[in-house]
């Protein structure tokens, strides 16, 4: 069996290296990073969420382990599979508890949990578009999702998204917009959702408000509503 699968080894090794990438972590701890050669970086930029490339490797390993278990005497194979099943259940118990806790909110049939204040809709309606400062959708994904739902429901664009990897052009644009904000250039028709501790430019201080304890800079149209 090992000989029949040996021809897959080069592909599996390559997929594993791509999955580890040049930003390896081990048990949540960052390992030393290393830069990619200039000629290689553009070629690999198209690889999104590279960790998923290990899935085919994992499937092959599971398949090989199942085949090997069939070659064991029945009592030994049954004992081994029982131990593996117990380990799997224990390993997944923590994740299952987190998923149950996160999905329990769905039973309350509430669309907006983090942004129930009706002023959100009025603020979005008065804005030309919506953004977050800093422009990071994953910093508070639940808040981002609810604001994005409200914005898209009114046909208002959100200037960033939650993606596996942003394009080079998007990253450059968001950096320029953040630099402009930090320099005091605040678009009067944009709704800004601020992270805690973000310094508000003096010219926008009169438009600073809190919606559901979230600091925002309202678009000027919202002040007259």
CA 211 to CA 196: how far, in whole Å? 13
Q: How far is CA 207 from CA 70, 153, 183, 200, 216, in A?
A: 69, 24, 17, 10, 8
Buried b / exposed e over 124-156, threshold 16 CB at 10 Å, is bbbbeebbbbbbebeebeebbebbbebbeeeeb
Other beta carbons within 10 angstroms of residue 15's beta carbon come to: 20
CA 46 to CA 80: how far, in whole Å? 41
CA 39 to CA 136: how far, in whole Å? 29
Residues 217 and 200: beta-carbon distance below 8 Å = yes
Closest CA to 122 of 156, 159, 161, 145: 156
Residue owning tokens 């200037």: 159
Residue owning tokens 């508890």: 97
* pLDDT for 86: 95
φ/ψ of residue 131, rounded to 5:
-145, 170
Structure tokens at 135: 């422009």
- Averaged pLDDT, groups of 10, the chain, 225 residues long: 80 89 79 80 73 91 86 89 91 89 76 92 96 94 94 96 81 94 94 95 93 95 72
* pLDDT for 41: 73
CA 175 to CA 25: how far, in whole Å? 26
Domain boundaries, the chain: 2-105, 119-224
DSSP-H helix ranges across the chain? 2-6, 9-20, 41-44, 55-70, 74-103, 119-126, 141-153, 168-182
DSSP state of 106: G
Q: How far is C-alpha 195 from the chain's CA centre?
A: 17
Question: How many helical (H) and strand (E) elements, i.e. helices and strands, does the chain have?
Answer: 8, 6
Strand 208-211 vs strand 214-217: parallel, antiparallel, or unpaired?
antiparallel
Instruction: Tell me the three state secondary structure of residue 209.
Output: strand
């Amino acid at each position: 069996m090992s000989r029949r699968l040996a021809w897959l080894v080069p592909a599996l090794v390559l997929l594993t290296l791509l999955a580890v990438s040049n930003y390896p972590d081990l048990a949540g701890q960052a390992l030393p990073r290393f830069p990619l050669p200039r000629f290689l970086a553009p070629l690999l930029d198209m690889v999104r969420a590279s960790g998923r490339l290990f899935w085919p490797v994992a499937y092959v390993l599971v398949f090989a382990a199942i085949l090997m278990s069939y070659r064991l005497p029945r009592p030994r194979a049954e004992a081994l599979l029982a131990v593996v099943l117990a380990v799997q259940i224990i390993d997944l118990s923590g994740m299952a508890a987190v998923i149950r806790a996160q999905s329990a909110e769905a039973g309350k049939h509430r669309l907006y949990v983090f942004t129930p204040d009706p002023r959100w809709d009025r603020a979005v309606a008065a804005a030309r578009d919506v953004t977050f400062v800093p422009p990071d959708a994953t910093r508070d994904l639940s808040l981002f999702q609810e604001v994005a739902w409200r914005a898209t429901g009114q046909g208002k664009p959100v200037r960033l998204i939650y993606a596996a990897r942003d394009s080079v052009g998007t990253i450059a644009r968001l950096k320029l917009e953040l630099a402009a904000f930090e320099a005091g250039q605040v678009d009067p028709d944009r709704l800004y959702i601020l992270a805690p501790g973000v310094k508000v430019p003096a010219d926008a201080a009169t438009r600073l408000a809190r919606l559901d304890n979230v600091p925002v800079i309202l678009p000027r149209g919202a002040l007259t509503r």
